[in-house]
Amino acid sequence: MKKSAPFIIALLSLLFSAQTAFAQSAALAKSSLTAIPPRLGEDLTLKIKPGEKIQTSVRVRNGSSEALTVQTLAQDFIVDLGGETPIAIEGEMSNRWSLASWLILTPSVQVVEPGDIAVVNVIIEAPADALPGGHYAMITHQPNTGGADVDPEFSILPKSAASLNQRVGTLLYVMVDGPINEAAFIRELTFPKFSEYGPVPFSFTVDNQSDIHISPQIGVEIRNLFGKKVETIEMTTKNVFPFIARDFEGEWDRIWGFGPYTAKAVMSYGSTGQLAMTTTTFWLLPVTLLMAVLIVLLVIIVVVIVVRRHLQHRRGDQQSKIEILEGKVSELEQEKLKKFES
Protein backbone atom coordinates (compact mmCIF):
# COMPACT_ATOMS: atom_id res chain seq x y z
CA MET A 1 0.00 0.00 0.00
CA LYS A 2 2.85 2.37 0.85
CA LYS A 3 4.58 1.59 -2.47
CA SER A 4 1.49 2.47 -4.44
CA ALA A 5 0.95 5.82 -2.66
CA PRO A 6 3.39 7.82 -4.90
CA PHE A 7 1.76 6.39 -7.98
CA ILE A 8 -1.75 7.33 -6.78
CA ILE A 9 -0.55 10.85 -5.93
CA ALA A 10 1.08 11.21 -9.34
CA LEU A 11 -2.07 9.92 -11.04
CA LEU A 12 -4.28 12.37 -9.13
CA SER A 13 -1.85 15.18 -10.00
CA LEU A 14 -1.99 14.17 -13.65
CA LEU A 15 -5.80 14.12 -13.69
CA PHE A 16 -5.99 17.49 -11.96
CA SER A 17 -3.47 19.05 -14.35
CA ALA A 18 -5.20 17.60 -17.39
CA GLN A 19 -8.59 18.83 -16.13
CA THR A 20 -7.15 22.30 -15.57
CA ALA A 21 -5.55 22.34 -19.00
CA PHE A 22 -8.70 21.23 -20.77
CA ALA A 23 -10.76 23.76 -18.84
CA GLN A 24 -8.37 26.50 -19.94
CA SER A 25 -8.55 25.24 -23.52
CA ALA A 26 -12.36 25.34 -23.40
CA ALA A 27 -12.26 28.88 -22.05
CA LEU A 28 -9.90 29.92 -24.81
CA ALA A 29 -12.16 28.33 -27.41
CA LYS A 30 -14.90 30.72 -26.31
CA SER A 31 -12.60 33.75 -26.59
CA SER A 32 -12.62 35.85 -29.72
CA LEU A 33 -10.12 38.66 -30.23
CA THR A 34 -10.09 40.95 -33.23
CA ALA A 35 -7.19 43.19 -34.20
CA ILE A 36 -8.19 46.62 -35.52
CA PRO A 37 -7.05 47.46 -38.15
CA PRO A 38 -5.57 44.32 -39.74
CA ARG A 39 -2.99 46.49 -41.54
CA LEU A 40 -1.65 49.93 -40.64
CA GLY A 41 0.52 52.13 -42.85
CA GLU A 42 0.30 50.05 -46.03
CA ASP A 43 -0.69 53.24 -47.88
CA LEU A 44 2.73 54.74 -46.94
CA THR A 45 1.18 57.22 -44.49
CA LEU A 46 3.48 56.18 -41.62
CA LYS A 47 6.67 58.01 -42.59
CA ILE A 48 9.59 58.62 -40.30
CA LYS A 49 13.07 60.10 -40.57
CA PRO A 50 16.20 58.48 -39.12
CA GLY A 51 16.47 59.43 -35.45
CA GLU A 52 12.84 60.61 -35.33
CA LYS A 53 10.04 59.42 -33.02
CA ILE A 54 6.37 59.19 -34.01
CA GLN A 55 3.27 57.75 -32.38
CA THR A 56 0.22 55.85 -33.58
CA SER A 57 -2.17 53.31 -32.09
CA VAL A 58 -3.90 50.01 -32.71
CA ARG A 59 -6.96 48.47 -31.08
CA VAL A 60 -8.12 45.04 -29.97
CA ARG A 61 -11.71 43.94 -29.49
CA ASN A 62 -12.85 41.27 -27.01
CA GLY A 63 -15.73 39.42 -28.68
CA SER A 64 -16.04 36.78 -25.96
CA SER A 65 -18.50 36.65 -23.07
CA GLU A 66 -15.80 37.00 -20.42
CA ALA A 67 -13.22 39.58 -19.47
CA LEU A 68 -9.79 38.74 -20.87
CA THR A 69 -6.32 39.76 -19.84
CA VAL A 70 -4.72 40.57 -23.18
CA GLN A 71 -0.99 40.67 -23.77
CA THR A 72 0.32 42.72 -26.69
CA LEU A 73 3.69 42.09 -28.31
CA ALA A 74 5.71 43.54 -31.18
CA GLN A 75 7.19 40.83 -33.39
CA ASP A 76 9.11 40.68 -36.62
CA PHE A 77 7.83 38.25 -39.23
CA ILE A 78 8.75 36.37 -42.35
CA VAL A 79 6.54 35.59 -45.35
CA ASP A 80 5.81 32.08 -46.62
CA LEU A 81 7.09 30.78 -49.94
CA GLY A 82 4.00 32.00 -51.79
CA GLY A 83 4.70 35.53 -50.55
CA GLU A 84 1.25 35.74 -48.96
CA THR A 85 1.13 34.65 -45.30
CA PRO A 86 3.13 36.54 -42.63
CA ILE A 87 4.57 34.27 -39.95
CA ALA A 88 5.51 35.88 -36.62
CA ILE A 89 9.05 35.28 -35.36
CA GLU A 90 9.69 34.63 -31.68
CA GLY A 91 12.34 37.07 -30.49
CA GLU A 92 13.98 39.86 -32.46
CA MET A 93 15.07 39.38 -36.04
CA SER A 94 17.92 41.45 -37.34
CA ASN A 95 17.54 42.25 -41.03
CA ARG A 96 17.18 45.13 -43.42
CA TRP A 97 13.42 45.47 -42.93
CA SER A 98 12.85 44.53 -39.27
CA LEU A 99 10.88 46.97 -37.13
CA ALA A 100 9.93 45.28 -33.84
CA SER A 101 12.95 46.62 -31.93
CA TRP A 102 11.88 50.19 -32.75
CA LEU A 103 8.46 49.81 -31.09
CA ILE A 104 7.25 50.60 -27.57
CA LEU A 105 3.72 49.39 -26.75
CA THR A 106 1.67 50.84 -23.90
CA PRO A 107 -0.02 49.17 -22.22
CA SER A 108 1.47 45.80 -23.08
CA VAL A 109 -0.96 43.97 -20.77
CA GLN A 110 -4.53 45.04 -20.00
CA VAL A 111 -7.91 43.64 -19.06
CA VAL A 112 -10.51 43.97 -21.82
CA GLU A 113 -14.15 43.59 -20.81
CA PRO A 114 -16.62 41.60 -22.99
CA GLY A 115 -17.50 43.54 -26.14
CA ASP A 116 -15.05 46.34 -25.34
CA ILE A 117 -12.32 47.72 -27.60
CA ALA A 118 -8.99 48.50 -25.97
CA VAL A 119 -6.40 50.90 -27.37
CA VAL A 120 -2.67 50.18 -27.49
CA ASN A 121 -0.39 53.17 -28.07
CA VAL A 122 2.51 52.47 -30.42
CA ILE A 123 5.65 54.61 -30.19
CA ILE A 124 8.00 54.22 -33.16
CA GLU A 125 11.57 55.40 -32.62
CA ALA A 126 13.83 55.06 -35.63
CA PRO A 127 17.59 54.74 -35.01
CA ALA A 128 19.82 57.46 -36.38
CA ASP A 129 21.28 54.95 -38.87
CA ALA A 130 17.92 53.60 -40.06
CA LEU A 131 18.06 52.63 -43.73
CA PRO A 132 15.60 54.29 -46.13
CA GLY A 133 12.71 52.16 -47.30
CA GLY A 134 10.13 49.90 -45.74
CA HIS A 135 10.30 48.42 -42.24
CA TYR A 136 7.73 45.96 -40.98
CA ALA A 137 6.47 44.32 -37.81
CA MET A 138 3.44 42.50 -36.46
CA ILE A 139 1.67 43.75 -33.33
CA THR A 140 0.01 40.66 -31.84
CA HIS A 141 -2.61 40.29 -29.11
CA GLN A 142 -3.34 37.12 -27.18
CA PRO A 143 -5.24 36.17 -24.02
CA ASN A 144 -2.92 35.73 -21.05
CA THR A 145 -4.53 32.87 -19.13
CA GLY A 146 -1.55 31.57 -17.25
CA GLY A 147 -1.67 27.80 -16.68
CA ALA A 148 -0.97 25.16 -14.06
CA ASP A 149 2.42 23.47 -14.04
CA VAL A 150 2.38 19.84 -15.10
CA ASP A 151 5.12 17.35 -14.35
CA PRO A 152 6.50 16.55 -17.82
CA GLU A 153 7.14 12.94 -16.75
CA PHE A 154 3.41 12.33 -16.36
CA SER A 155 1.98 14.85 -18.82
CA ILE A 156 -0.26 13.46 -21.57
CA LEU A 157 -0.45 16.88 -23.28
CA PRO A 158 2.22 18.00 -25.77
CA LYS A 159 1.83 21.60 -24.62
CA SER A 160 0.11 23.46 -21.83
CA ALA A 161 -3.20 25.14 -22.50
CA ALA A 162 -1.47 28.51 -22.33
CA SER A 163 0.35 27.65 -25.56
CA LEU A 164 -2.97 27.31 -27.36
CA ASN A 165 -3.80 30.98 -26.99
CA GLN A 166 -5.61 32.64 -29.82
CA ARG A 167 -3.32 35.21 -31.44
CA VAL A 168 -4.43 38.03 -33.72
CA GLY A 169 -2.39 40.90 -35.04
CA THR A 170 -1.97 44.09 -37.03
CA LEU A 171 0.71 44.31 -39.71
CA LEU A 172 2.59 47.57 -39.29
CA TYR A 173 4.17 49.23 -42.34
CA VAL A 174 6.64 52.09 -41.70
CA MET A 175 8.61 53.95 -44.38
CA VAL A 176 11.91 55.64 -43.55
CA ASP A 177 12.53 58.72 -45.68
CA GLY A 178 15.48 58.77 -48.06
CA PRO A 179 16.54 57.53 -51.49
CA ILE A 180 14.51 54.39 -52.22
CA ASN A 181 15.11 51.92 -55.02
CA GLU A 182 11.95 50.71 -56.79
CA ALA A 183 12.23 47.71 -59.12
CA ALA A 184 9.79 44.86 -59.76
CA PHE A 185 9.24 42.21 -62.41
CA ILE A 186 6.54 39.84 -63.63
CA ARG A 187 7.80 36.30 -64.01
CA GLU A 188 6.38 32.98 -65.22
CA LEU A 189 3.13 34.10 -66.85
CA THR A 190 1.60 30.68 -67.43
CA PHE A 191 -1.52 29.59 -69.33
CA PRO A 192 -2.34 25.99 -70.31
CA LYS A 193 -0.71 25.59 -73.70
CA PHE A 194 -3.90 24.10 -75.12
CA SER A 195 -7.51 24.15 -73.91
CA GLU A 196 -10.66 22.98 -75.67
CA TYR A 197 -12.94 25.30 -73.69
CA GLY A 198 -12.76 27.75 -70.81
CA PRO A 199 -12.59 29.25 -68.33
CA VAL A 200 -8.82 29.30 -68.87
CA PRO A 201 -6.74 29.53 -65.66
CA PHE A 202 -3.46 31.40 -65.52
CA SER A 203 -0.84 32.41 -62.99
CA PHE A 204 2.24 34.58 -62.66
CA THR A 205 4.68 35.79 -60.03
CA VAL A 206 5.53 39.36 -59.04
CA ASP A 207 9.13 39.66 -57.88
CA ASN A 208 9.64 42.81 -55.81
CA GLN A 209 13.28 43.92 -55.71
CA SER A 210 12.44 47.30 -54.20
CA ASP A 211 13.45 48.74 -50.84
CA ILE A 212 9.75 49.01 -49.96
CA HIS A 213 6.54 47.03 -50.39
CA ILE A 214 4.48 47.62 -53.51
CA SER A 215 0.76 47.36 -54.30
CA PRO A 216 0.88 46.75 -58.05
CA GLN A 217 -1.99 47.43 -60.43
CA ILE A 218 -2.01 44.53 -62.92
CA GLY A 219 -4.06 43.90 -66.04
CA VAL A 220 -3.84 40.87 -68.30
CA GLU A 221 -4.66 41.61 -71.96
CA ILE A 222 -5.84 38.83 -74.29
CA ARG A 223 -5.42 39.32 -78.08
CA ASN A 224 -6.55 37.03 -80.87
CA LEU A 225 -4.68 35.82 -83.97
CA PHE A 226 -5.18 39.17 -85.71
CA GLY A 227 -3.86 41.23 -82.78
CA LYS A 228 -7.29 42.48 -81.75
CA LYS A 229 -7.80 42.89 -78.00
CA VAL A 230 -10.64 40.62 -76.91
CA GLU A 231 -10.38 40.90 -73.12
CA THR A 232 -8.64 42.79 -70.30
CA ILE A 233 -8.62 41.07 -66.91
CA GLU A 234 -8.01 43.36 -63.93
CA MET A 235 -6.24 41.58 -61.08
CA THR A 236 -6.96 42.20 -57.40
CA THR A 237 -4.26 44.37 -55.81
CA LYS A 238 -2.04 42.64 -53.26
CA ASN A 239 0.89 43.90 -51.23
CA VAL A 240 4.27 42.44 -52.15
CA PHE A 241 6.98 42.85 -49.53
CA PRO A 242 10.57 43.82 -50.43
CA PHE A 243 12.68 41.08 -51.96
CA ILE A 244 9.71 38.72 -51.91
CA ALA A 245 8.10 36.96 -54.87
CA ARG A 246 4.32 36.67 -54.57
CA ASP A 247 2.10 34.39 -56.65
CA PHE A 248 -1.02 35.64 -58.44
CA GLU A 249 -3.77 33.51 -59.98
CA GLY A 250 -6.75 34.28 -62.20
CA GLU A 251 -8.81 32.97 -65.08
CA TRP A 252 -10.09 34.11 -68.44
CA ASP A 253 -13.84 33.62 -68.20
CA ARG A 254 -14.33 32.67 -71.85
CA ILE A 255 -16.00 29.37 -72.73
CA TRP A 256 -15.35 29.15 -76.48
CA GLY A 257 -12.42 30.35 -78.51
CA PHE A 258 -10.88 29.65 -81.89
CA GLY A 259 -7.18 29.70 -82.58
CA PRO A 260 -4.04 30.95 -80.85
CA TYR A 261 -4.15 33.86 -78.41
CA THR A 262 -1.49 36.12 -76.94
CA ALA A 263 -1.63 37.13 -73.27
CA LYS A 264 0.27 40.14 -71.96
CA ALA A 265 0.48 41.00 -68.25
CA VAL A 266 1.09 44.71 -67.65
CA MET A 267 1.98 45.93 -64.15
CA SER A 268 2.11 49.49 -62.83
CA TYR A 269 3.84 50.00 -59.48
CA GLY A 270 5.83 52.40 -57.35
CA SER A 271 5.54 56.08 -56.58
CA THR A 272 6.21 57.09 -60.21
CA GLY A 273 4.01 54.50 -61.93
CA GLN A 274 6.78 52.33 -63.33
CA LEU A 275 5.80 49.56 -65.75
CA ALA A 276 6.71 45.91 -66.12
CA MET A 277 5.24 43.39 -68.55
CA THR A 278 5.58 39.91 -69.96
CA THR A 279 3.79 37.88 -72.65
CA THR A 280 2.94 34.29 -73.54
CA THR A 281 0.81 32.43 -76.10
CA PHE A 282 -1.77 29.68 -75.75
CA TRP A 283 -4.48 27.90 -77.73
CA LEU A 284 -8.22 27.83 -77.09
CA LEU A 285 -9.81 25.56 -79.67
CA PRO A 286 -12.80 23.17 -79.29
CA VAL A 287 -11.22 20.30 -81.20
CA THR A 288 -13.84 17.74 -80.16
CA LEU A 289 -16.67 20.03 -81.23
CA LEU A 290 -14.96 20.85 -84.53
CA MET A 291 -14.38 17.15 -85.24
CA ALA A 292 -18.05 16.44 -84.49
CA VAL A 293 -19.11 19.25 -86.85
CA LEU A 294 -16.70 17.97 -89.51
CA ILE A 295 -18.07 14.44 -89.21
CA VAL A 296 -21.63 15.75 -89.53
CA LEU A 297 -20.63 17.74 -92.61
CA LEU A 298 -18.95 14.69 -94.15
CA VAL A 299 -22.05 12.59 -93.48
CA ILE A 300 -24.23 15.28 -95.11
CA ILE A 301 -21.91 15.42 -98.13
CA VAL A 302 -21.95 11.63 -98.48
CA VAL A 303 -25.74 11.56 -98.21
CA VAL A 304 -26.07 14.32 -100.82
CA ILE A 305 -23.73 12.44 -103.20
CA VAL A 306 -25.62 9.16 -102.76
CA VAL A 307 -29.00 10.82 -103.28
CA ARG A 308 -27.73 12.69 -106.33
CA ARG A 309 -26.36 9.54 -107.90
CA HIS A 310 -29.59 7.73 -107.15
CA LEU A 311 -31.60 10.49 -108.82
CA GLN A 312 -29.26 10.51 -111.83
CA HIS A 313 -29.61 6.76 -112.10
CA ARG A 314 -33.41 7.03 -112.01
CA ARG A 315 -33.35 9.74 -114.67
CA GLY A 316 -31.15 7.51 -116.80
CA ASP A 317 -33.56 4.58 -116.45
CA GLN A 318 -36.53 6.76 -117.27
CA GLN A 319 -34.78 8.23 -120.31
CA SER A 320 -33.93 4.79 -121.64
CA LYS A 321 -37.54 3.66 -121.18
CA ILE A 322 -38.79 6.73 -123.00
CA GLU A 323 -36.39 6.07 -125.85
CA ILE A 324 -37.60 2.45 -126.08
CA LEU A 325 -41.23 3.58 -126.10
CA GLU A 326 -40.50 6.19 -128.73
CA GLY A 327 -38.80 3.52 -130.83
CA LYS A 328 -41.81 1.22 -130.61
CA VAL A 329 -44.16 4.05 -131.48
CA SER A 330 -42.00 4.86 -134.50
CA GLU A 331 -42.06 1.20 -135.60
CA LEU A 332 -45.83 1.06 -135.29
CA GLU A 333 -46.21 4.23 -137.31
CA GLN A 334 -43.95 2.85 -140.05
CA GLU A 335 -45.93 -0.41 -140.17
CA LYS A 336 -49.18 1.52 -140.49
CA LEU A 337 -47.67 3.64 -143.25
CA LYS A 338 -46.56 0.54 -145.19
CA LYS A 339 -50.02 -1.02 -144.90
CA PHE A 340 -51.63 2.19 -146.06
CA GLU A 341 -49.34 2.41 -149.08
CA SER A 342 -49.95 -1.18 -150.03
Q: How many CB atoms within 10 Å of residue 184?
A: 20
Give the residue ranges of DSSP H helices in the chain. 5-30, 287-341
Alpha-carbon separation of residue 116 from 140, 184, 307 (angstroms): 17, 42, 87
**Collapsing DSSP states into helix, strand and coil, what is residue 292?**
helix
Q: What are phi and psi of 65, to 5 degrees?
A: -95, 5
Superfamily designation of domain 5-176:
Immunoglobulins (2.60.40.10)
For the chain, what is the total number of helices (H) and then of strands (E)?
A: 2, 20
For the question of whether the overall pTM of this predicted structure is more than 0.75, the answer is no
Other beta carbons within 10 angstroms of residue 288's beta carbon come to 10
Name the residue ranges covered by the structural domains of the chain.
5-176, 184-285, 291-342
CA distances from 341 to 58, 74, 334, 336 (A): 134, 136, 11, 9
| Nearest to 255, CA basis, from 191, 200, 193, 192 | 200
Which residues have C-beta within 8 Å of that of residue 27, sequence separation ≥ 6? 66, 145
In contact, 129 and 49? CB cutoff 8 Å: no
Question: Could you give the CA distance from residue 108 to residue 70 in angstroms, rounded to a whole number?
Answer: 8
Q: Do domains 5-176 and 184-285 have the same CATH topology?
A: yes
Q: For residue 88, which phi and psi values (nearest 5 degrees)?
A: -65, 145
DSSP state of 210: S
Q: Which amino acid is at 331?
A: E
The structural architecture, per CATH, of the domain 184-285 is Sandwich (2.60)
Q: Answer whether 118's CB lies under 8 Å from 110's CB.
A: yes
**For 137, how many CA atoms within 13 A lie in the half-sphere containing its CB?**
26
E-strand ranges in 163-235 read 168-176, 184-190, 194-195, 200-208, 217-223, 229-234
pLDDT score for 289: 75
pLDDT in tens, the chain (342 residues): 444 444 444 444 444 444 544 444 444 445 589 999 999 999 989 999 999 999 999 999 999 999 999 999 999 988 877 777 888 887 666 678 999 999 999 999 999 999 999 999 999 999 999 999 999 999 999 998 654 333 333 233 333 333 345 889 999 999 999 999 999 999 999 999 999 999 999 999 999 999 999 999 999 999 999 999 999 999 999 999 999 999 999 999 999 999 899 999 999 999 889 999 999 999 999 988 778 888 888 889 888 888 888 787 777 777 777 778 777 777 777 777 777 766
pLDDT tens for each residue of 81-102: 777 788 888 766 667 899 999 9
